[in-house]
Amino acid sequence: MDIVIRQVAPAEYDTLGEITAQAYLQDGLLDFGESDWYLGELRDVAKRAAAAQVLVALDGEQVLGGVTFVPSGGPMADLATAGEAEIRMLAVARAARGRGAGEALVRACVERARATDGCVRVILSTQRTMQAAHRIYERLGFTRTPERDWNPIPELDDITLLTYELTF
């Protein structure tokens, strides 16, 4: 299988949005399930594509998954500061997992970050239960940065996102 990574096309927004939403739902990553406010954000690929770079992994015409790449901060950044790019919303369809799409998407983000003037680091946030993603990050040289771990919903004490970085 040849996985192609490229910028998402508008005709693929709905497909990628649903893949992303279902990945988070099926993996139990949304604390409030179908009623979680973040589900709308996951499905809104058009909004992400207007503010950042959204990449898709394809096998032929089939969308396998996608990721949001935020170069040098910007409106889609959760944590990135000057000189940092951020990876967000990495998701691969359940049926396509284990075929290298997730790793190919992360590699593409790292390549884009290296090509961004002034960028010295890629950062990302992840949940404790995302073990397969953690293995990808660590295999590619990312290291944990516990000092940057954070809670996206301060009212809920039990939600802490772990952070990783790759400095080059």
Identify the CATH number of the domain in which residue 114 sits.
3.40.630.30
Burial of 134 (C-beta count, 10 Å sphere; 0-12/13-18/19+)? middle
pLDDT in tens, 41-86: 999 999 999 999 999 999 999 999 999 999 987 889 999 999 999 9
What is the pTM (predicted TM-score) of this model?
Answer: 0.94
What value, to the nearest 5°, has the Cα angle with vertex 134 and ends 130 and 137? Answer: 140
Note down pLDDT in tens along the chain; length 168 residues: 699 999 999 999 999 999 999 999 999 988 788 999 899 999 999 999 999 999 999 999 999 999 999 998 788 999 999 999 999 999 999 999 999 999 999 999 999 999 999 999 999 999 999 999 999 999 999 999 999 999 987 776 677 899 999 999
Torsion over CA of 160, 34, 137 and 54, rounded to 10 degrees? -120
Domain count for the chain: 1
Domain membership of residue 81 as a residue range: 3-167
